[in-house]
Amino acid sequence: MGAVLIMQEPEIFTQPALGRTFETWHGLVFRTAYRITGNAADAEDVLQTVFLRLASRSSSAATVENEEGYLRRAAVNASLDVVRSRQSMPTVPIEDTATSSSCTELREMRESLRRALARLKPKWAEMFALRYFEGYSNSQIAKSLKISQVLVAVTLHRARKQLQNDISSYMGGR
């Protein structure tokens, strides 16, 4: 009779609290990532990254008081990392004759926004994503990041101006 191979359960599944956290918040993390990356496969990668990072936190790490805020910010940051990493990869244009020009223009505009967002300073990009992709108010962002509302407003203004400049130079350079 052959030996029976016993598979050891990965540590992530033996932590009941982490399992409950995943069940509660995986949808939020995925939706946040999808809004930023615009791609379901990338959003799944972000989801996996966020929860693997959470699982690998040492037991001596500080407890997370606001799981929703923590996971949303983690998803935003991991999504921005994915978008930034795309910048270094060459892209191959896909021609689809069945696609209307307005859909193509919309897709190009979204992609130019993602590229411009990836060029922002990381804190600016995080604040922009929280405000305009996640719908946080300036006061919620300020509280979450432990900064003043004035700094949030000024940063968002500067981020919008830089994004406008980047996008208009991209669109004008066509």
pLDDT tens column, 120-157:
898 899 899 889 988 899 999 999 888 999 999 999 99
pLDDT tens column, 64-114:
778 888 899 899 999 999 988 887 655 545 455 445 667 887 788 888 888
The confidence score (pLDDT) of residue 7 equals 42
- Helices (H) and strands (E) counted in the chain, each on its own, are 8, 0
Domain spanning 12-88, CATH class: mainly alpha
Residue 107 burial by Cβ neighbours in a 10 Å radius (0-12, 13-18, 19+): middle
> Any idea where the domains of the chain sit in the sequence?
12-88, 101-174
pTM, two decimal places? 0.66
The domain over range 101-174 is classified in CATH as 1.10.10.10: yes
Question: How far lies 130's CA from each of 3, 17, 136, in Å?
Answer: 53, 26, 6
